[in-house]
Amino acid sequence: MTRALRSRTRSLTCAVLLGWTMLQCIGRSDAADGASPQQLAPGDRVQVIVFQQPEISGDFIVDGAGAVTIPLIGAIAVQDLTLGEAEKRITQRLAEGFIDRPVVSLKINEQRPVYVLGDVRSPGSYPYRYGASVLSAVALAGGIGMQEQAVAGNRSEFLQADERLQVAQATHRALFIRRLRLEAQRLGSAKFDLPRDTTYSRDDPDVARIFKEEQDLLAVQRAGHEQTLRLLRDQKPRLEAEIAGVRAQAEAEQTQLELLQEHIADYNKLVTTGLARRYAMIELQREEARHKGNLARFAADIARLENSIGEIGVRMQEAENEYMRRAMTELQETRSRLQELDITIPVAQELRETRFQQSRAALMGMVDASYAVAILRTRSGKEEVVRAEMSTRLLPGDIVEVRRNGTPGSPSPTMSLISGVAMQANSGQDASKAEPLD
């Protein structure tokens, strides 16, 4: 009886997980409609989470062959795949005799770095940050101009201050919308909206994207919580029906016992008068003991089932408490971080303005046309050299070369990118050009 209960519970749980996975996939595909999905490449550090399988979950690095090696199933090629495609491939491999109905989640923990070389102060590799441009990469590399260090000493300071301000503002925007979602979750609401007095607008593409992601997350979490409670509630009527059945059996057994006891009393009179055999009397007493044992067993079954009903109530309350506890904990953390940003952003704005006033002339020199920029970029496993500007967005793994026009000397290996662009232009070929920031 208990084994059947567990089997039905597992089946319903699998159905919940399947529905949650479909919702997650729908949310991801909707989020990706407005932008080209990023493809995985060697050097990316990804986090693979297999639901209820911590031994094969964890962080993995895409190796030089474009694969991640996961315990139990070995190497899986993910190069040039989007996150959704990589999840699907890993799920298919796990489903091939390893795990029944696996649920896989994949995210990028660390992007490939960008590389800056040429006429910069500190050539090398630097961590990739979302929204990075050639200008910010050059700033991380110490700025342009090996001979202008005295003049442009604080260029990078301005760019770093500007980047810190943008990151702080983007973080504040995301946390503000997250707080709205958590407050709606705490109140049990299915939806939320931006207040009228806020500075953020749904017309902003970034705000609209974050708002949709948080709304989808609220819907998924709420649906999962309600499904969990529904599964627990559905077990109670079945247990009550089992209790009624056991009680009916116990009543029938009690009736048989009473009839048997009456028969024993009558038979005992015959034994005392010598009209019946004592051996038959012993058999009747054994039958009486068997009925009493059945009654005790039925009582134990009823107690066990009633205890199971009580445990269902406790588990429902625990699920509700855990759902609210997570929401309240995350809400408190979000409010605390928003308070910190409310203090940090004005200071960052003032610092950025100060750095801008100090380095304005140097920044104008950095975006001057006297510098040539080229990027070596890998797309779908193929390398290509693109012309760029200081405002061009960077992608993970980009190799950026910055040179002053008219740099004396013949092309060297470090001049290969700009030289390649120049050779394409001289030969009449169209050198591709990267898109600048809007």
Domain residue extents for the chain: 38-110, 111-144+369-406, 158-367
Quick check: 409 pLDDT over 50? no
Please name the amino acid found at residue 370: S
Please name the amino acid found at residue 408: P
31: exposed, middle or buried (Cβ count in 10 Å: 0-12, 13-18, 19+): middle
Mean pLDDT over each residue of the chain, to the nearest integer: 78
Superfamily of domain 38-110: wza like domain (3.30.1950.10)
pLDDT value for 174: 92
| Mean pLDDT across 57-75 | 83
Quick check: 78 pLDDT over 50? yes
pLDDT value for 340: 92
pTM of the full predicted structure? 0.40
The strands making up 45-50's β-sheet, listed across from edge to edge, are 58-61, 45-50, 104-110
Quick check: 386 pLDDT over 60? yes
| Mean pLDDT across 366-383 | 72
Judge whether 51 and 90 are in contact, CB under 8 Å.
no
pLDDT value for 33: 40
Tell which wins on pLDDT, 164 or 409: 164
Say which range, 24-38, 351-365, 381-395, has the weakest mean pLDDT.
24-38
Q: How confident is the model at residue 9 (pLDDT cuts 50, 70, 90)?
A: very low
**Per residue in 264-315, pLDDT tens?**
888 888 878 877 777 777 888 888 899 889 999 989 998 998 898 888 888 8
pLDDT value for 15: 44
**Per residue in 198-226, pLDDT tens?**
888 888 888 899 989 999 988 998 888 88
* CA–CA gap between residue 105 and residue 91 (Å, rounded): 9
pLDDT value for 361: 53
Phi-psi domain of 370 (left: phi exceeds 0; alpha: psi -120 through 50; beta: other) = alpha
Superfamily of domain 111-144+369-406: Outer membrane lipoprotein wza domain like (3.10.560.10)
pLDDT value for 354: 84
pLDDT value for 332: 93
